[in-house]
């Protein structure tokens, strides 16, 4: 078996990849995981007990909702705007709840594509310091938004940084990592060992080679370029509709006319061969917006992207 945190060479390659993402870390602070979802599951099992409350964006990654059901912790949504978490809403939640853990996506938030400005990241970091929050930063899409730093650069001692090579390179290999400060990383290491012993050394060896020889950076650069081209197609075809996105995001958060429910719209789009996600998959709490998430990366070609964008919006 590999060492519990992963082979040294693989962690060194992952550290080089994180530097490419804007985060310099010691390989000894890295534990390899089977993708970001596994990294989140092991991190949350290390930080939360059944019945605990986790602060999240009020529209959050659907995988976190599944984890909360599976692991029996509660979610409390925090209001957002175009940059993600609202600082005043986060501070209010900290004052009125006993939780000490926050999950968020500062770069290309899923599903809204929000990206925190430098000012917003500093505000969130200051609140985390004030209330002694441990922040779980999900940076799955950070490789598409290199113009912003990870939140972990501001408060590394309070942040567990989780990312994956699935979206950026190759999902079939299921390799990711968690970066955590002393006192937390050993708990995550134990959770990884309890759930799968160690990650696949064969897959880690292949992806480490891609990082070392520059293949990984070329793939990520191509995906950024292709994503931007598809965003431009979608924006032209959705002109006049209300939506939120980012020029390099793989997602578009599309608001619906009042006559549509999210579920009804998704069902209608499915009859036309287009797969969408209803807002109910992401909403925390009782307020569910009339909106859907479009994924611009799913179609195999730009031509099918054009067709899907037209068909996705039944008038």
Instruction: Return the pLDDT at 92.
Output: 97
Instruction: Return the pLDDT at 314.
Output: 52
> Please, are residues 269 and 277 in contact by the beta-carbon 8 Å criterion?
no
Name the band, by pLDDT with cuts 50, 70 and 90, for residue 304: confident
Counting beta carbons within 10 angstroms of the beta carbon of residue 6, is it exposed (0 to 12), middle (13 to 18) or buried (19 or more)?
buried
State the average pLDDT for the chain.
Answer: 93
Q: How far is CA 28 from the centre of its chain?
A: 23
DSSP 97: -
Over the Cα atoms of the chain, what is R_g? Answer: 19
Instruction: Return the pLDDT at 1.
Output: 84
For residue range 251-288, list pLDDT tens digits in order: 999 999 999 999 999 999 999 988 999 999 999 988 89
| pLDDT more than 70, % of the chain | 97
Q: Is the pLDDT of residue 315 over 90?
A: no
Report the alpha-carbon distance of residue 310 to residue 256 in Å, rounded: 15
| Nearest C-alpha neighbor of 285 from the set 124, 54, 78 | 78
Name the band, by pLDDT with cuts 50, 70 and 90, for residue 302: confident
> Please, are residues 71 and 50 in contact by the beta-carbon 8 Å criterion?
yes
Instruction: Return the pLDDT at 309.
Output: 60
| Nearest C-alpha neighbor of 59 from the set 22, 39, 86, 37 | 86
Question: Given CA atoms 313, 282, 151, 129 in this order, what sign does their dihedral have?
Answer: positive
Q: Is the pLDDT of residue 291 over 90?
A: yes
Instruction: Return the pLDDT at 102.
Output: 98
Average pLDDT over residues 80-102: 95
Name the band, by pLDDT with cuts 50, 70 and 90, for residue 311: low
Q: 97: how many CB neighbours lie within 10 A of its CB?
A: 13
Name the band, by pLDDT with cuts 50, 70 and 90, for residue 289: very high
Residue 107, φ and ψ in degrees, nearest 5:
-115, 120
For residue range 130-158, list pLDDT tens digits in order: 999 999 999 999 999 888 889 999 999 99
Q: Is the pLDDT of residue 115 over 60?
A: yes
Name the band, by pLDDT with cuts 50, 70 and 90, for residue 310: low
User: Read out DSSP for 230-265?
Assistant: HHHHHHHHTTTS-EE--TT-SEEEEE--TT--HHHH
């Amino acid at each position: 078996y590999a060492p519990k945190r992963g082979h040294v060479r693989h962690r060194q390659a992952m550290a080089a990849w994180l530097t490419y993402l804007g985060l310099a870390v010691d390989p000894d602070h890295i534990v390899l995981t089977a993708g970001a979802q596994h990294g989140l599951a092991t991190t949350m099992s290390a930080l939360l007990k059944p019945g605990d409350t986790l602060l999240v964006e009020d529209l959050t990654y659907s995988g976190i909702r599944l984890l909360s059901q599976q692991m029996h912790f509660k979610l409390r949504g925090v209001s957002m705007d175009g940059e993600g978490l609202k600082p005043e809403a986060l501070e209010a939640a900290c004052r009125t709840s006993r939780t000490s853990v926050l999950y968020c996506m500062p770069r290309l938030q899923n599903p809204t594509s929000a990206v925190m400005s430098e000012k917003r990241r500093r505000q969130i970091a200051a609140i985390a310091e004030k209330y002694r929050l441990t922040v779980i930063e999900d940076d799955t899409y950070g490789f598409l938004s290199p113009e912003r730093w990870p939140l972990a650069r501001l408060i590394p001692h309070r942040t567990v940084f989780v990312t994956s090579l699935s979206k950026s390179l190759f999902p079939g290999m299921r390799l990711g990592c968690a970066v955590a400060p002393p006192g937390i990383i050993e708990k995550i290491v134990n959770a990884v060992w309890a759930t799968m012993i160690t990650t696949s050394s064969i897959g880690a060896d292949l992806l480490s080679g891609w990082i070392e020889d520059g293949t990984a950076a070329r793939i990520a650069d191509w995906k950024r370029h292709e994503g931007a081209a598809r965003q431009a197609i979608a924006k032209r075809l959705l002109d006049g509709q209300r939506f939120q996105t980012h020029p390099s995001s793989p997602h578009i958060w599309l608001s619906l006319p009042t006559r549509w429910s999210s579920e009804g719209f998704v069902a209608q789009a499915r009859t036309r061969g287009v797969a969408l996600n209803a807002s109910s998959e992401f909403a925390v709490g009782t307020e569910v917006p009339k909106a859907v998430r479009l994924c611009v990366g799913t179609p195999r070609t730009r031509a099918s992207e054009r067709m899907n964008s037209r068909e996705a919006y039944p008038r």
